[in-house]
């Protein structure tokens, strides 16, 4: 009789352990999928901005014929950034850094372009340019939100990967921490127009 009770208790413990392992594994899978989905959202937000750039360049080109160097810099930065994508299945800190650098180059080139627009009041007053500028601002907000949401989902996943006892399951099944998007150096200070012109 005692032997049967001990076997039932052991069987119950094994079943509970199995449920715990399965639950921990499924939680990690779900959180990793959320991180991968948020990588797609980041890529989509940056792609939306990239798709808008040719229209902005054409709009400026019609008014600012003497700004060819600035326009070429925007086109080149967009081209370089389009070749750099985040791969959700193999996300590394180096990959995010290279992606950020390419996208920062686009942001810098767009900033210089928008500063040059200040010299053309007719362009600034153009309804087409105002619409494009509004869309660009909207894209920048989407990018910021996508990056923030990515960092939140990566943080949730990373916390689960590191917490005991789920860290045992994570290590056993090869779940690894995800890198974060980081703010650019000096991002805590608002840029001045002089800084933008110096870029």
Is 129 part of a structural domain of the chain?
Answer: yes
Q: Is residue 46 part of a domain?
A: yes
Confidence of residue 9 (pLDDT cuts 50, 70, 90): confident
Q: Report, as an integer, the average pLDDT of 5-16.
A: 88
Which range marks the domain in which residue 128 is found?
14-198
Q: Is residue 8 part of a domain?
A: no
Q: Note the pLDDT tens digit of each residue in 164-199.
A: 999 999 999 999 999 999 876 554 454 443 444 344
> CA 29 to CA 44: how far, in whole Å?
23
Given pLDDT bands bounded at 50, 70 and 90, which one contains residue 3? confident
The reply to whether 18 falls in a domain is yes
pLDDT mean across residues, the chain: 87
pLDDT of residue 79: 92
For the stretch 99-122, pLDDT in tens is 999 999 999 999 998 888 888 888
Residue closest to 153 by CA, chosen among 26, 33, 10, 17: 33
Residue 47 domain-assigned (yes or no):
yes
Q: Identify whether 88 is part of a domain.
A: yes
Residue 7 lies in a domain: no
Q: Of 33-47, 58-72, 116-130, 175-189, which one has max mean pLDDT?
A: 33-47
> What proportion of the chain, given as a percentage, has pLDDT over 70?
91
Whole-model pTM? 0.81
Give the count of domains, the chain.
Answer: 1
**CATH number assigned to the domain comprising residue 77:** 1.20.1440.20
């Amino acid at each position: 009789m005692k032997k049967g009770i001990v076997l039932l208790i052991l069987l119950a413990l094994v079943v509970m352990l199995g449920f715990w392992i399965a639950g921990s594994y499924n939680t990690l899978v779900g959180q990793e999928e959320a991180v991968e989905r948020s990588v797609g959202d980041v890529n989509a937000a940056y792609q939306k901005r990239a798709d808008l750039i040719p229209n902005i360049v054409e709009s400026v080109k019609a008014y600012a014929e003497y700004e060819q160097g600035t326009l070429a810099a925007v086109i080149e930065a967009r081209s370089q950034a389009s070749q750099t994508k985040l791969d959700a299945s193999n996300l590394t800190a180096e990959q995010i850094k290279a992606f950020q650098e390419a996208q920062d180059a686009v942001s810098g080139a767009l900033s210089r372009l928008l500063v040059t627009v200040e010299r053309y009041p007719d362009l600034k007053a153009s309804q087409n340019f105002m619409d494009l500028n509004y869309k660009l601002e909207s894209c920048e907000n989407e990018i910021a939100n996508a990056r923030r949401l990515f960092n939140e989902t990566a943080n949730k996943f990373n916390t689960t990967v590191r917490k005991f006892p789920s860290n045992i399951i994570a290590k056993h099944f090869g779940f690894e921490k995800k890198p974060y998007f980081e703010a650019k150096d000096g991002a805590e200070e608002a840029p001045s127009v002089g800084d933008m012109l110096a870029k």
